[in-house]
Amino acid sequence: NAGVMQNPRHLVRRRGQEARLRCSPMKGHSHVYWYRQLPEEGLKFMVYLQKENIIDESGMPKERFSAEFPKEGPSILRIQQVVRGDSAAYFCASSPIDEQFFGPGTRLTVL
C-alpha cells in the first residue's frame, strides 16, 4: 500500500507566480489535511478536506490560498501571486478517520 504522495517535492517560483501543490492520499483514505512548516518552526494546520468538501479552513490565510479535494484525483493546494514569505515546506496528511499519515512534503522556494 503506497504511502501519501506529494508532488512536486521541490518547487521554485518567482514572486507573483502561482504555485500548485498536489497530494495523493493513501488508498481508501477520504480525509486530507494540509500543514505548513516555516523554516525552523513547527507545523501549522491550514485546511482539512473530505472528498469535494472543505471541512475546516481556519488555518488558511484569507487571501491567495485555496484548496480542493475533487471526487477524482489528488488534493490541490493553490497559492496565487506568491511572495517570499510563502517559502516553506508544505505537508499533507491523509486519514481514514483516526491517525494521520504524512507525505514527504513539498518545499516551496519563492525567489
Partner 1 sequence: DAKTTQPTSMDCAEGRAANLPCNHSTISGNEYVYWYRQIHSQGPQYIIHGLKNNETNEMASLIITEDRKSSTLILPHATLRDTAVYYCIVRVSYGQNFVFGPGTRLSVLP
Of the pair 13, 94, the CB lying nearest partner 1 is at 94
Does 65 participate in binding partner 1 (rule CB under 8 A)?
A: no
Taking Cα atoms as reference points, which of 2, 95, 17, 3 lies closest to residue 56? 95
Handedness of CA 29, 53, 17, 74 (dihedral sign): positive
Phi-psi bin for 40: left (phi > 0), alpha (psi -120 to 50), beta? left
Of the pair 33, 65, the CB lying nearest partner 1 is at 33
Does 28 participate in binding partner 1 (rule CB under 8 A)?
A: no
Residues near partner 1 (CB under 8 A), total: 26
From 12-20, 51-59, 69-77, 80-88, span contacting partner 1 (CB under 8 A): 51-59
